[in-house]
């Protein structure tokens, strides 16, 4: 095929597609050794290809430490473009090669709270939408770099700006107090933030996952109590919600996660105040993996209304 007059063919601009493939693997896995194993070549062969790219571009693509490597700013810019391009190519191959073929396993990562409160109650609905789909859930206690884990997609809470994958907005959240109906019958309904602060509060540790503790929540809604009556502290958010279900006190409820428990009446929302954070939930697909029709279906399923029971 001839190129138009005055333009360069891509082969004159990109001297080696093989080098780009090996560069993407090193950038995603963070290791020359792991990239070589994945590609079925020697580590020295991968190193030669990376060195060839760096000499061709006259920039350093990786910062090489004693036991680790990290993309430079120039390397990160190249990686994002290469990974996105390979993802699109993989998507076409996936559509062409799997037409009429039964869907294989899809690995979805999320926190334990999202899995327990949002995913598991809806699995029956997903099975109805896509009976052949084999879903494998993997729980992450923190936001792991998707370049170093074998997942097809991950649910994350944050601003959506991550460099290791393509983010698609799922939904925003509200944060408000919740407790069991029995607890309200025995202790009454608080009508002010001051009254709420004096009642039995179940604490959940603030972590990198985004969970707020009571002090942060009161500050966010504009109230600074002199003291809080914390009767139980849990390191896991799931335990705090379960304690509230069993009448141990009042916990912070995250909409979209506790929707089903509110719908069934196991938890009751206390309407004294609500905080809406700027962060939201996203589905993140690692660079180098395709946003396939199955992933698109998964996004719509995750966004869905509370499960029909």
User: So where are the chain's domains?
Assistant: 10-96, 102-172+279-303, 175-269
Report, as an integer, the average pLDDT of 57-80: 85
Output the pLDDT for position 30.
83
User: For the chain, what is the mean pLDDT?
Assistant: 83
**Residues written for the chain:** 309
Topology of domain 175-269, CATH:
D-Maltodextrin-Binding Protein; domain 2 (3.40.190)
Residue 138, SS3? Answer: strand
Per-residue model confidence (pLDDT) at position 6? 44
CATH number of the structural domain 10-96: 1.10.10.10
Token digits for 162? 């991550």
- Whether residue 291 contacts residue 84, with contact meaning beta carbons closer than 8 Å, is answered with no
pLDDT at 102 > cutoff 60: no
Q: How far apart are CA 200 and CA 203, in angstroms?
A: 10
**What pLDDT score does 2 carry?**
43
Q: In terms of DSSP bridges, do strands 165-171 and 134-139 run parallel, antiparallel, or are they unpaired? A: unpaired
Task: Convert the pLDDT of each residue in 202-233 to its tens digit.
Answer: 998 776 556 789 999 999 999 999 999 999 99
Give me the architecture of the 102-172+279-303 domain, per CATH: 3-Layer(aba) Sandwich (3.40)
Q: In this model, does residue 1 exceed pLDDT 60?
A: no
Percentage of residues of the chain with pLDDT beyond 90: 36
Instruction: In whole angstroms, give the CA distance from residue 219 to residue 183.
Output: 25
pLDDT score of 309? 39
Q: What's the pLDDT score for residue 10?
A: 54
Beta bridge partners of 155: 283
Strand partners, 286: 165
In this predicted model, what pLDDT tens digit does every residue of 106-128 receive, in sequence order? 888 888 889 999 988 888 888 88
What letter would DSSP give residue 80? Answer: H
Q: Are strands 165-171 and 175-179 parallel, antiparallel or unpaired?
A: unpaired
Strand partners, 253: 176
Q: Which is nearest to 270 in space by CA: 167, 186, 180?
A: 180
Per-residue pLDDT, averaged over 35-44, amounts to 86
Give the CA angle between residues 42, 79, 49 to the nearest 5°: 30
Q: Average pLDDT of 170-185?
A: 95
Q: Do domains 10-96 and 102-172+279-303 have the same CATH topology?
A: no
């Amino acid at each position: 095929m001839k190129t138009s007059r005055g333009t360069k063919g891509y082969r004159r601009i990109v001297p080696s597609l093989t080098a780009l493939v090996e560069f993407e693997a090193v950038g995603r896995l963070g290791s020359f050794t792991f990239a070589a194993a994945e590609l079925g070549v020697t580590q020295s062969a991968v190193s030669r290809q990376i060195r060839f790219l760096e000499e061709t571009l006259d920039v350093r693509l990786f910062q090489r430490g004693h036991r680790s490597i990290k993309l430079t700013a120039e390397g990160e810019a190249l990686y994002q473009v290469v990974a996105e391009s390979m993802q699109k190519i993989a998507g076409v191959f996936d559509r062409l090669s799997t037409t009429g073929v039964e869907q294989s396993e899809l690995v979805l990562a999320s926190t334990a709270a999202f899995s327990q409160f949002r995913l598991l109650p809806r699995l029956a609905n997903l099975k109805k939408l896509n009976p052949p789909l084999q879903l494998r859930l993997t729980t992450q206690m923190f936001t792991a770099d998707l370049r170093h884990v074998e997942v097809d997609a991950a649910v994350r809470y944050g601003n959506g700006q991550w460099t290791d994958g393509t983010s698609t907005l799922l939904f925003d959240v509200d944060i408000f107090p919740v407790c069991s109906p029995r607890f309200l019958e025995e202790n009454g309904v608080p009508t002010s933030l001051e009254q709420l602060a004096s009642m039995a509060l179940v604490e959940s540790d603030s972590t990198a996952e985004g969970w707020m503790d009571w002090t942060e929540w009161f500050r966010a809604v504009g109230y600074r109590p002199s003291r809080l009556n914390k009767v139980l502290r849990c390191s896991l958010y799931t335990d705090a919600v379960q304690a509230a279900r069993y009448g141990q006190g009042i916990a912070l409820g995250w909409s979209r996660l506790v929707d089903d428990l509110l719908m069934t009446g196991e938890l009751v929302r206390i309407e004294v105040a609500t905080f809406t954070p700027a962060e939201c939930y996203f589905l993140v697909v690692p660079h180098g993996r395709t946003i396939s029709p199955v992933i698109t279906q998964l996004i719509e399923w995750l966004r869905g209304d509370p499960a029909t029971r």
